[in-house]
Structure formats: structure tokens, C-alpha cells
Structure 1
């Protein structure tokens, strides 16, 4: 009989401590809930980014090759090579400008 009294006396504090633990957990949860909902009010602000100017080497004038006054056959071959290299440089500059414009359009979207 002594054993049964001890078991009963031990169960009462356990039940009370379980109830208190549940209440404390609920109170902590209720206190943390407003903190979680406060993070939901973020505002998106869009900032205008100034356009980056094109590099000066892309917009610089391509030098024209010199054309000698008495144009010989050998000079015309040299002139053709100079003209083709100037045309190739212009095309490279245009490709670089297109790449920059594509990057700008992707950023602005």
C-alpha cells in the first residue's frame, strides 16, 4: 500500500509539470508569431540605373588608309588589304556594340 501512495504522489507533479510545459510552449509560440508576420511586409523599390556609356574605342572613327596619287598595281594591293582590315575592325566594333546593347536590354527587363 505504501508503494501505491508513492506512485500517486509522483504522478500529480508530472501532470502539473506537463501542463505547465504545454502552456509555456504555447505562450512562447504566441510571442514569436508576431515576429514572423512582421517579416512579410517587404517592399520592392526599383532604382533607375544610369546608362553606362559605350567605350570610346568602339565609337572612335576608323582611320582611312592613305591612297597614293599615282596608284600602281602593288599599291592597289596594299590599299585593298588596308581597306579590308578597316572594314573588319568596323564589323568587330559593331558586334561589340550589339553585345553591350543586348546586355543592357536583359538588365532592364
Structure 2
């Protein structure tokens, strides 16, 4: 019996054995967290208009880039080296706020359409 009482005393002293501890009077209560908006992307779109599509992609190393046919013919850009840039989304010197950035391109032997700048 003494062993059981001794064990109970040790348990009570070490872990409070299920009792609810008194609140710490020194505890600091933090104000509730406020919703924060993620900081905007700080990258700026370089002016690549008129340049080679492959070189522009290399220049923007690490940036997700998608090529689109500037003529609206939906031709696939298999070899970016053979295409040139007419325009971009976002435009030159504009802040990049979403990815991928889009380069509107035409084959190097063609002219850019009137609605595209380059």
C-alpha cells in the first residue's frame, strides 16, 4: 500500500496526473493573427520585342515562358530559335504578376501582325 501511495505522490508531483494546471499569470496573449496578402511578384518583364524567341527564353532563365503564335494560327513552336518575338504578356517593363509569361511569336521569316508590336 505504501508503494502505491508513494507512486501516486511521485506521479502527482511530476505530471500533475490529469489535473488542470493553473494559468500562468505571466503569459502574454498575442493579438489574433490578421490575414496577410502575399507580396506581389517583383520581377519585371524585359523588353524582348523583336528578339529571338530562344534567346529571350534563355535570358529569362527560371521564368515559366509559353510561346503563342502571334498570327492566331495556333502553330506550335517546336524550335524557338526559328521564331521571333512580336509582343509579350505582360508587356515590356511591366511587373510580372502571374506565370507563365507569354511571348507572342512568328517564324523569323514572317512579319508581325498589325495588332502585335515588333
Say whether the fold is shared (TM-score over 0.5): no
Structure in which a larger fraction of residues adopt helix: 1
Please identify the structure whose Cα radius of gyration is greater: 1
Which of the two has greater strand per residue? 2
TM-score using structure 1 length = 0.30
Structure with higher RCO (Cα < 8 A, 6+ apart): 2
Structure 2 length-normalised TM: 0.29
